[in-house]
Homo-oligomer: A and B are copies of this chain.
Amino acid sequence: MEYTVQGLGQLAGISARTLRYYDEIGILKPARMNSSGYRIYGQKEVDRLQQILFYRELGMSLDNIKEIITSPSFDEVEALREHQVKLLAKKEQLEQLISNVDKTIAHKEGRINMSDKEKFAGFKQKLIDDNEKKYGKEIREKYGDDWVNKSNEQVKNMTQDQYDGVTRLANEVNETLKAAMETGDPAGEVAQKAADLHRKWLCFYWDTYSKEAHAGLAQMYVDDPRFTAYYDKEQPGTAEFLRDAILIYTGMKE
């Protein structure tokens, strides 16, 4: 039995366009062309198309399908397994998304209490942080590898009390820093107080404190636009001021 594009299309439940596309990418070529250039398919092509559609239903890419059905030596089961791994990964990712959407809806509806709300703020921050990984990587290579990762871990394992503590401390740092900015003197008492609070705050995230690392971080606040943006949000120059205060505090500058 011989078929033209539409005939085979109806037979298989696909469009004529699809068959032409399959011809174009070389996954299913017609048996021959007639005198007017019509594509003519025979029984062999029907069978091959069946195979293609079968794998397509499993969500495989045409490229993959092509490999499987063109080379008989191709390890089909292995290909299926690889495909399955991909599907499973996709599924996990999807579940993560769904969970996040859930949380967001709950948050928007105000169905959650304050402490959860605060954690949600952290969750949101984490989403944004994830986004910055690429850029952050450079910084980490420059200033020491794993402090960001470590702090993520630590945040996750924090108790509610600890979380509240670190949040309050962060606010104190910001307020003191604001007041210090008004004095204009990074060596002054208020600025040094801010630097000290900043050290305390930092110790929530770092298990070992060193003056060098503290100073390095301060420098990063100026070099890394993300941090600069954070500190300069209310008052430009704040990041630089904080760096100077910390450099003096750590004795790296007088």
Residues of A within 8 A of B (CB): 1, 3, 7, 10-14, 43, 46, 50, 53-54, 57-59, 76-77, 80-81, 83-84, 87-88, 90-91, 94-95, 97-98, 100-102, 104-105, 108-109, 124, 127-136, 225-226, 229, 232-233, 236
In contact, B131 and A102 (Cβ under 8 angstroms): no
Q: Which of A10, A53, A130 has the most CB of B within 10 A?
A: A10
Tell me the complex Cα distance, A80–B1, Å: 52
Whether B226 contacts A11 by the Cβ 8 Å rule is yes
Number of copies of this kind of chain in the complex? 2
- A1 near B233 with CB under 8 A, answer yes
Chain B nearest CB, measured from A249 CB (Å): 25
Known contacts: A7-B225, A105-B81. The answer to whether A131 contacts B12 by CB under 8 A is yes
**Can you give 9 contacting A-B residue pairs, CB < 8 Å?**
A1-B232, A10-B135, A13-B134, A53-B131, A57-B128, A57-B130, A57-B131, A87-B94, A87-B98
Assuming A12-B132, A53-B131, A94-B94, what are 19 further A-B pairs, CB within 8 angstroms?
Answer: A10-B225, A11-B226, A13-B128, A13-B129, A13-B133, A14-B131, A46-B229, A57-B127, A58-B97, A58-B100, A59-B94, A77-B108, A77-B109, A80-B101, A80-B108, A87-B97, A87-B98, A91-B94, A91-B95
A13 touches B98 (CB 8 A): no
Per the bound structure, the CA–CA distance linking A104 and B109 in Å amounts to 44
Closest to A236 in B: B1
